[in-house]
Amino acid sequence: MCKKLAITAAVVIGLVTAFCYTKAGSYARTAWKQVKENTKSQVPIEFEIERLKTEISQLIPDLRKSLSTVAEQMASVDRLEKEITATQNNLDRQKTVLLKMAKDLETPETAFIYDTKAYSRDQVARKMDLDWKSYKIAQSELKTKEQILDAKRRELDAAKAKLDSIRIQERELKLEIAELEADLQNVRLAETKNKFVVDDSRLGEVKKSIAELRFRLDTEKRRAALEGEYFGNEVTTVERVAPRPAVEIAREIRGELEGAKVANDK
């Protein structure tokens, strides 16, 4: 099993190496690049514009999804600010008590009263030591929280700036798409105006033939109108000659023959 895996791995590595570092690989990569470019160039501009409009329309849903993350970050910042305020207030109270105990211990008194409770000098000393340690720990925690708050605020500002940027760019992209559509309409209009010049397809030939037929038909109509205008009132008659009676022809022939005879007799 291991031997088969090793052989398979070697074959795969060999194919990858051949593809990356040989002429065959270079030819394959070049051919694939040309196929992608040709395919892309065959896609109609109208389709590409619609595709881009669809992609742009998805920016707003993506933006809305990001709003939840930003809102959560805002709530986290607000909660941390409240925690810092509460911690600072506690530290201020602890500081007041510590200062009182320190001042009391500087006096020669042996008993002290705090919140209606009596403490000996040793008890105050121990309490002050414990409260001081607690105060230092709370101070350290407060500093850490303030650093975290500062980082969260920067993250929140960056997130808001990103949302603003996406929104602005979404509007700018819509304007660019609108400009592309307007330019495309102008191009298509120009192509329509020059269709007989630039269109050598079957459709162009048919349209050209129709235009020629319309011209010929218009010419015939105008010629017919001119015929009516200049020759419409003339009546052309053809005189038909009735055939001569056979008797008349016979007499004419006999007269000519007899006249010739008489001439001869003279």
Q: What is the pLDDT of residues 110-151, one digit of tens each?
A: 898 888 888 898 998 998 899 999 999 999 999 999 999 999
Among 4-8, 29-33, 193-197, whose mean pLDDT is lowest? 29-33
Q: Is 236 left (phi over 0), alpha (psi -120 to 50) or beta?
A: beta
**What's residue 150's pLDDT?**
95
**What's residue 266's pLDDT?**
47
d(C-alpha 61, C-alpha 30), whole Å: 38
Question: In the block, which residue shows the tokens 């105050």?
Answer: 124
**What's residue 30's pLDDT?**
60
Domain assignment present for 108: yes
Q: Which of 39, 37, 19 is nearest to 29 (CA)?
A: 19
- The token pair at 106 is 């500087």
**What's residue 91's pLDDT?**
93
Domain assignment present for 31: no
Q: How many domains does the chain have?
A: 1
**What's residue 152's pLDDT?**
93
**What's residue 195's pLDDT?**
57
Q: Give the residue ranges of DSSP H helices in the chain.
A: 2-21, 23-42, 45-57, 59-105, 121-193, 195-198, 202-231, 246-265
What are the residues facing 120 on neighbouring strands? Answer: 111
More confident residue, 240 or 250: 250
Domain assignment present for 45: no
Question: In the block, which residue shows the tokens 């015939």?
Answer: 220
CA distances from 18 to 7, 23, 25 (A): 16, 8, 6
Please tell me which of 33-42, 211-220, 228-237, 239-248 the model is most confident about, judged by mean pLDDT: 211-220
What is the amino acid identity at position 264? N
d(C-alpha 51, C-alpha 57), whole Å: 10
**What's residue 263's pLDDT?**
46
pTM listed for this prediction: 0.48
Residue 80, pLDDT > 90, answer yes
Domain assignment present for 159: yes
Residue 197, pLDDT > 90, answer no
Domain assignment present for 164: yes
Domain assignment present for 192: no
Give the model confidence (pLDDT) of 103-116 as tens digits.
988 998 889 888 88
- Cβ atoms of 110 and 120 closer than 8 Å: yes
Residue 232, pLDDT > 70, answer no
- The token pair at 90 is 């506690």
d(C-alpha 6, C-alpha 4), whole Å: 5
Domain housing 170: 50-176
Residue 73, pLDDT > 70, answer yes
Neighbour-count burial of 216, counting CB atoms closer than 10 A to its CB (0-12 exposed, 13-18 middle, 19+ buried): exposed
Domain assignment present for 101: yes
Domain assignment present for 251: no
Side-chain-side CA neighbours of residue 226 (13 Å):
6
Read off the CATH number of the domain in which 60 is found.
1.10.287
Q: How confident is the model at residue 31 (pLDDT cuts 50, 70, 90)?
A: low
Question: In the block, which residue shows the tokens 């810092």?
Answer: 84
Cα torsion 28, 34, 37, 38: sign:
negative
Mean pLDDT across the chain: 77
